[in-house]
Amino acid sequence: MEFFNFVELMPKISIKGKNMPASPIRKLAPFAEQAKKNGVHIYHLNIGQPDIETPHQFWDAIKKIDRKVLEYSPSDGFEEIRKKYAQFFQKRYGLHNLLPEDVLVTTGGSEALMFTLFSILDRDDEIIIPEPLYANYIGFSKSGSINVRPIPTTFENGFALPSIDEFEHVINPKTKAVLICNPNNPTGYAYSDEELHRLKEIVLKHDLFLISDEVYRDFIYSDNQHYTSIFSFPEIEQQAILVDSLSKRFSACGARIGMVATKNKEVLQTVLKFAQQRLSPPTVEQLGAIAMFDVENDYFTKVNIEYRKRRDVLVEGLNAIDGVKCHTPGGAFYCIVQLPVDDADDFCQWMLSDYSYENATVMMAPASGFYATEGKGKNEVRMAYVLNREDLKKAIKCLEEGLKVYNTKK
């Protein structure tokens, strides 16, 4: 095979992107695949892929598509979906200032985030993100040579927003934006009204953009909590950028439909340039999504009640295990769980490659990947409670037994 000689001679053929961190949510997938091939059932607590049915309106709509040519849509999405998106936010959340012309439809929340970061941060600029944080924020930032400046939130105080002092401690001339995820992935924390006002003050005082990833906004579990969006503050309307996705709201992760919304026209025009480069979001999925906004009102109530029950089953079950600690998340469908292990990465992989209980095992996301700070989260995992309660109970039992075996071996 003569070409191997060439390869050996090639100093330049190095893969520049290889320092990109692997997704903690998906990096163990090959071990899970192997376990499945060995006949082991996997309880997937690693990924926010809900088992809730997608509204039938989506499936009905795509069956009724009567087109001959599968054309591009406009780069910012069909006008109809931008209208529906805005109407939905107006009606359901009372955000009456969110208009169709403020909305740009993206290929999932992922693209919305990436285009937003690329639009407002130059290379070597800094963005402040409370940590632990959604792992892919780090990757999107690295793609644009943007530096993530984490500020810690802690297990002990339930991952509440850091103080103004803590923000000001890291703000410097390179700081251009703050990014929050509310309710939070991976912690499940739902920011209070007071905390959002605090954020507003910080970005006003220091002239920063505030990006709010609110893709889990329909998942808030405390009865008395009024949900506040960053879009509610007119004082920062030129600084606020809302990122959204239909994935979780409608259990439609595979649709890859999200959006950026902002009243700042210059930001939206810049995001549009990135959107034009990739031509358009998927056409069929947009046509399905347009119909999906007409879902029955009680869909969200039912789903919310179900998730709250799941949360309670998980939190109670986990805290009953010796050495396991889990706070009670106020929103989203994730929690950070402390385990009695030194190296959760090793433990999570071992659960897939070396262990099964009643022919099943549990897949979790090691939390180290949700920290931008090296060395943090070593004894933590992120769990997504996206399974029915029976399966959650079985997964907890499986984890409990697994911990015993793992810690005996060591």
Give CA–CA dist 175/109, Å, rounded.
23
Which of 36, 38, 72, 152 touches a second copy (CB under 8 A)?
72
User: Does residue 258 bind a second copy (CB under 8 A)?
Assistant: no
**Could you say whether residue 37 binds a second copy (CB under 8 A)?**
no
Q: Which of 224, 277, 297, 408 binds a second copy (CB under 8 A)?
A: 277
Which of 38, 234, 323, 342 touches a second copy by CB under 8 A?
234
Range in contact with a second copy (rule: CB under 8 A) among 233-241, 301-309, 323-331, 340-348:
233-241
Closest distance to a second copy from the beta carbon of 286 (Å): 8
**Segment 171 to 190, residues that bind a second copy, using CB under 8 A:** 176
CB of residue 95 vs a second copy: minimum separation in angstroms?
16
With CB under 8 A as the contact rule, the residue among 120, 178, 179, 199 that binds a second copy is 120
The residue from 254, 305, 319, 358 that contacts a second copy (CB under 8 A) is 254
26 binds a second copy (CB under 8 A): yes
Q: Interacting stretch for a second copy, rule CB under 8 A, among 147-155, 234-242, 341-349, 358-366? A: 234-242
**Candidate residues 235, 294, 296, 316; the one interacting with a second copy per rule CB under 8 A:** 235
Tell me the window of 152-160, 229-237, 293-301, 346-354 that interacts with a second copy (CB under 8 A): 229-237
Nearest to a second copy of 235, 358 (CB atom)? 235
Contacting residue, 46, 110, 182, 232, with a second copy by CB under 8 A: 110
Least distance (Å) between residue 339 CB and a second copy:
24
> Smallest distance from the beta carbon of 123 to a second copy, in angstroms?
5
